[in-house]
């Protein structure tokens, strides 16, 4: 079995590792649907069914997802370049699609350190096999659900990789819509923010149906019918995730409009983007 420089397995056996029992291939998973729509191959029939049905209802879904990746890249690059952040905690990693967050920030600063968190075993297995960072930096992978922030906060992976006395960028991209209960969603995000030292940053996106409500009702039904329900939130509800933080300009906006060239923004229809995004500073 091959290994990386950090001793992380390059190959994985889903049977011997216990992954097979946790895959739940009868249910769709957001990360695998995302992978399928973006042209990946790490997905199952049920994920493809959701993806195909959703694309039939809303053909712009692929554009929307591509813009989600673009927001992640812009915000991470901005924090690494403009704010000097060298530590990142990424919640809801998803299946590896290059360039990944560590590739973006380590291209700016090779010493950057990243902890990836996801709760789908196939995501973590592929991440361990495929993601290799710079020799100067460090990457860790944590198998955890963001609904259990204490598991993340108290994990040895976090402690061994990030120095919580120094600023950290918390990135929560395309994931809070899978926490249906509003109180729970705000609670878990707040618990993660609370562990960050002053001088840290948060980049977060929140799904919304405010720009295409009728068609997105159908998309949500497809996800729910295949075991992966999601919830849309208003702009005011999105802004609430940033309570107590100082929003960076231009505030909470549709994610394709966050620090983007106006000419590029003009090429994307608002109704094709179903997510708000924002970046904020923790004083």
CB 259 within 8 A of CB 78: yes
Q: Which residue matches tokens 């590792």?
A: 17
Give the domain CATH number at 277. Answer: 3.40.50.150
Distance in angstroms (rounded) separating the CA atoms of residues 143 and 154: 13
pLDDT at position 126 is 65
User: Within a domain: residue 271?
Assistant: yes
User: Within a domain: residue 2?
Assistant: no
pLDDT band at 36 (very low <50, low <70, confident <90, very high): confident
Between 100 and 210, whose confidence is greater?
210
User: Within a domain: residue 60?
Assistant: yes
Tally of domains in the chain: 1
Which pTM value belongs to this model? 0.83
Across 243-247, average pLDDT: 98
User: Within a domain: residue 259?
Assistant: yes
pLDDT > 90? residue 260: yes
173: containing domain:
20-281
pLDDT at position 100 is 85
User: Within a domain: residue 9?
Assistant: no
User: Within a domain: residue 6?
Assistant: no
Lowest-pLDDT range of 10-19, 31-40, 159-168? 10-19
User: Within a domain: residue 1?
Assistant: no
User: Within a domain: residue 7?
Assistant: no
């Amino acid at each position: 079995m091959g290994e990386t420089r950090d001793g992380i397995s390059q190959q994985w056996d889903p049977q011997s590792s216990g992954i097979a029992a946790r895959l739940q291939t009868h249910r769709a998973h957001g990360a695998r649907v995302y992978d399928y729509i973006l042209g990946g191959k790490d997905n199952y029939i049920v994920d493809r069914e959701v993806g195909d049905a959703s694309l039939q209802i809303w053909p712009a879904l692929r554009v929307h997802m591509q813009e989600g990746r673009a927001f992640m890249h812009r915000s991470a690059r901005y924090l690494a370049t403009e704010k000097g952040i060298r530590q990142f905690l990424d919640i809801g990693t998803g299946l590896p699609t290059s360039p990944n967050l560590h590739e973006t920030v380590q291209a700016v600063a090779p010493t950057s350190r990243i902890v990836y968190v996801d709760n789908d075993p196939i995501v973590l297995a592929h991440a361990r096999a495929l993601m290799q960072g710079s020799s100067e930096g460090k990457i860790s992978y944590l198998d955890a659900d963001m609904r259990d922030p204490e598991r993340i906060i108290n994990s040895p992976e976090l402690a061994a990789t990030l120095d919580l006395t120094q600023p950290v960028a918390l990135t929560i991209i395309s994931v809070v819509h899978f926490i249906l209960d509003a109180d729970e969603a705000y609670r878990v995000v707040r618990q993660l923010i609370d562990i960050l030292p002053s001088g840290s940053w948060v980049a977060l996106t929140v799904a919304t149906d405010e720009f295409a409500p009728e068609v997105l009702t159908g998309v949500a039904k497809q996800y729910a019918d295949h075991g992966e329900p999601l919830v849309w939130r208003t702009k005011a509800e999105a802004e609430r995730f940033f309570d107590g933080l100082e929003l960076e300009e231009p505030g909470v906006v549709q994610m394709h409009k966050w620090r983007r060239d106006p000419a590029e923004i003009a090429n994307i229809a608002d109704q094709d983007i179903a997510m708000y995004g924002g970046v904020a500073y923790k004083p």
